[in-house]
Amino acid sequence: MNKVKFLFLASVLSLTAMFCACDKNETGSPKIKYIVDGKEQESAPDKNFYKAVSIESNSKEASIVWDVATWSLEASNTTGRETVNVYFEYQTKPVTVDGIGFDSLQDAFNYIGSGSKRIYLTKDVTGGGNTAAGADIKIELGGFTIDGAGEDTIINNGTMKIYGAGTITNTVDGEYSKSIVNYGDLSLYGVTVTNETDSVAIWNSENGSSVLTIENSDISHSKSGVMTVVNSGTMEIVSGSISGVGDSFHPVLYNNRGSSVLTLTGGSVTNNADGYAIYNESGVINLGGTTYNNSYNMPSAE
């Protein structure tokens, strides 16, 4: 009888040891609560608009982190009995396309490729962007600013329309960085374009097909001895203003190619110094209602 009891007790102890061993080596996924802007949600929020700010866990032994690359919980040394709270906070991306947020203008341009899309700004953007050939892009500035900060702010290689109110600029003094470079067909509507570098605010290139239209927009340069706009293609001032503080060697608006066509329909071109407002090197000028002060080689030059 004592032997049976001993065998029974030994069996119980053996089973207990087995259970303990299994429990010790048990693994499993922790229970996750997603706390989004202070409220519990069933899943993690869209990584384009949220950031993971902190994690709370009831386990000191487990290794638990939120992987921003995979946008998922990475856990090890867990038993499955852990509970984890992951806190997320809304983070607006400065550029959105198709409801997707991007950190930079170039990222948005890369997403669009040679396609046709509309870009919205949700806050100021730092850094420039170069579009793909053939892209058809509309940019809604929404009152915000795009600052190239030492690199050309916008380089258009396709068709682009930019709507204000908002500003396209370049603010790094000493750099040679344009605010807008146009190799395609570009229209500005209600936009402010400025530049504080040693380069022009806008260059409409000489590739033979560059078309620039300015409506109700204000283009200016803050530095003396620098041109504001260089037209080497086809350009029309419908309304708005172009101004600068150039000199006889640096006019505000420079029409500089034999193939250049400048149409002055309305608005104004003003040199706030003693130099030329418009200097026509050798291109064609179509006079209209645009007002200007000093000029050179114009059809009706002063």
Q: Please give the radius of gyration of the chain, using alpha carbons only, rounded to the nearest integer.
A: 31
pLDDT value of residue 60: 86
Q: Are residues 148 and 252 in the same domain?
A: yes
Specify whether 212 is located in the same domain as 252: yes
Contact 266, 291 (CB under 8 A): no
User: What end-to-end distance do the CA atoms of the chain give, in Å?
Assistant: 128
> How many whole angstroms separate alpha carbon 100 and alpha carbon 217?
29
From first to last of its 302 residues, what are the pLDDT tens digits of the chain?
A: 433 333 333 343 343 333 343 444 457 889 999 999 999 999 999 988 899 999 999 988 889 999 999 999 999 999 989 999 999 999 889 999 998 999 999 999 999 999 999 999 999 999 999 999 999 999 999 999 999 999 999 999 999 999 999 999 999 988 999 999 999 999 999 999 999 999 999 999 986 689 999 999 999 999 999 999 999 999 999 999 999 998 878 999 999 988 899 999 999 999 999 899 999 998 899 999 999 999 999 986 55
pTM of the model: 0.80
CB atoms within 10 A of CB 53: 12
What DSSP character marks residue 191?
A: -
Whether residue 240 sits in one domain with residue 181: yes
Contacts of residue 137, defined as CB under 8 A and 6 or more positions apart, other chains included, come to 109, 112, 116, 117, 118, 119, 131, 156, 158, 159, 160, 161
Residues 45, 135 within the same domain: no
Burial of 242 (0-12, 13-18, 19+ CB in 10 A): buried
Please say which residue of 50, 70, 90 terminates a domain.
90
Query: Domain range for residue 260?
Result: 95-296
Q: What local confidence, expressed as pLDDT, does residue 48 receive?
A: 82
